[in-house]
């Protein structure tokens, strides 16, 4: 356990060593929020507009919910893993008595902790500037369920990331491309961070809800907003847990295969 605490600390320090990088990543996040905010503000410029069951207050609550959940789920250091494999730097870890997965999980958690602090500050600033009608969840039971769904989302994202990152074991040159396709196109598109999943037609919606992606952002935000209750809530949590374990086993399997063909290149 102590070794992972040390990893947490050094990782935290490194984020500060790359100060500019970190700031730019936060700026990107703020812009994304602003973009979504103004997009929906324009759509709902008439206060009586209701689209897909969302009025202005609801959609803006959603957008701000996304901001916090994104900071927790999507901030990750493990995006470097595919480069590690392609360039042979993975060897450094394989040589040491440390679990590679736990190592990156620890680094992710440290990154999430740091990002959460910044996201909270940004949230407050944007909240006072834009004065959106934000919904504050006061039900302790719902808050606990929200926390649980966020934890599921963090594990889900981690496993998705590690599965995608395994591509360079077989095709080192595809590392960046596969990550872009998966993380930027599929994950961003289907997770609910650009638009709430329930604006989709019902058929498509139930299809998307069967995939792991909406459990990254859409579902936790809906839980927070109190829009999912009762059986739907239990069902959602279970689908999330199912995907978490399925992806974990898949990740282990694919990594076992990958490490056998790993060439430890770079020399």
Partner 1 sequence: MDRAIIVDHLVKNFEVTEKEPGITGALKSLFSPKTKQVHAIRGISFAIQPGELVGFIGPNGAGKTTTLKTLSGLLYPTSGFVEVLEYDPWDRRPEYLKQIALVMGQKNQLWWDLPAIETFELNRAIYEIPRRVYEENLKELTELVEVEKLVNTPVRKLSLGQRMRMELVAALLHKPKILFLDEPTIGLDLVAQQKMRDFIYEYNKKYNATIILTSHNMDDLIDLARRVIVIDEGRLLFDGALEELVGRFAKEKIIKATLGSEDNIKEIEKIGKIKKISFPEVTLSVPRSTTAVAAAELLQNFPVEDLTIEEVPIEDIIRKVFKGELKQ
- The binding site for partner 1 (CB under 8 A) comprises 2-3, 5-7, 10, 13-14, 17-18, 88-89, 91-92, 94-98, 259-264, 266-267
Q: What whole-number distance in Å separates Cα of residue 196 and Cα of residue 177?
A: 26
Smallest distance from partner 1 to CB 27, Å: 20
Minimum CB separation of residue 2 from partner 1 in Å reads 6
Return the number of the residue (9 or 28) whose C-beta is nearest partner 1. 9
Nearer to partner 1, 3 or 232 (CB): 3
Distance between the two ends of the chain, CA-based, in angstroms? 33
Q: Which is nearer to partner 1, 43 or 265 (CB)?
A: 265
Nearer to partner 1, 3 or 147 (CB): 3
Closest CB to partner 1 among residues 10, 181: 10
Q: Name the minimum Å distance from CB 5 to partner 1.
A: 7
Q: How far is the CB of 97 from partner 1 (least distance, A)?
A: 4
The CB-of-259 to partner 1 minimum distance in angstroms stands at: 7
Closer to partner 1 by Cβ: residue 25 or 134:
25
Please, what is the minimum distance in Å from the beta carbon of residue 83 to partner 1?
14
Closest CA to 254 of 145, 195, 178, 166: 166
Q: Distance (Å, rounded) from C-alpha 226 to C-alpha 220?
A: 10
DSSP β-bridge partners for residue 51: 54
State the nearest-atom distance from the C-beta of 96 to partner 1, in Å: 5
Task: Output 106 or 145, the one with its CB closest to partner 1.
Answer: 106
Mapping DSSP onto H, E and C, the string for 80-132 reads HHHHHHHHCCHHHHHCCCCCHHHHHHHHHHHHHHHHHHHHHHHHHHHHHHHCC
């Amino acid at each position: 356990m102590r070794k992972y605490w040390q990893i947490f600390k050094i990782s935290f320090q490194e984020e500060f060593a790359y100060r500019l990088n970190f700031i730019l990543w936060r700026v990107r996040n703020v812009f994304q929020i602003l973009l979504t905010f103004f997009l929906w503000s324009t759509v709902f410029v008439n206060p009586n507009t209701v689209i897909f069951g969302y009025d202005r207050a609801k959609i803006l609550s959603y957008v701000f919910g996304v901001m916090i959940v994104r900071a927790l789920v999507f901030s990750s250091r493990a995006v470097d893993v595919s480069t590690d494999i392609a360039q042979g730097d993975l060897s450094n870890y394989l040589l040491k008595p440390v679990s590679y997965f736990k190592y990156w999980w620890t680094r992710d958690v440290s990154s999430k902790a740091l990002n959460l602090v910044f996201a909270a500050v940004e949230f407050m600033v944007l909240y006072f500037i834009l004065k959106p009608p934000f919904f504050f969840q006061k039900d302790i039971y719902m808050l606990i369920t929200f926390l649980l769904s966020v934890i599921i989302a963090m594990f889900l994202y981690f496993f998705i990331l590690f599965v995608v990152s395994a591509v360079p074991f077989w095709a080192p040159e595809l590392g960046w491309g596969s990550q872009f396709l998966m993380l930027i196109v599929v994950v961003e598109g289907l997770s609910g961070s650009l638009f709430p999943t329930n604006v989709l037609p019902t058929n498509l919606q139930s299809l998307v809800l069967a995939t792991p992606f909406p459990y990254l952002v859409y579902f936790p935000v809906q839980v927070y907003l109190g829009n999912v209750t009762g059986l739907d809530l239990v069902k959602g949590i279970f689908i999330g847990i199912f995907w978490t374990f399925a992806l974990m086993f898949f990740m282990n399997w694919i990594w076992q295969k990958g490490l056998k063909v790993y060439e430890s290149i770079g020399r």
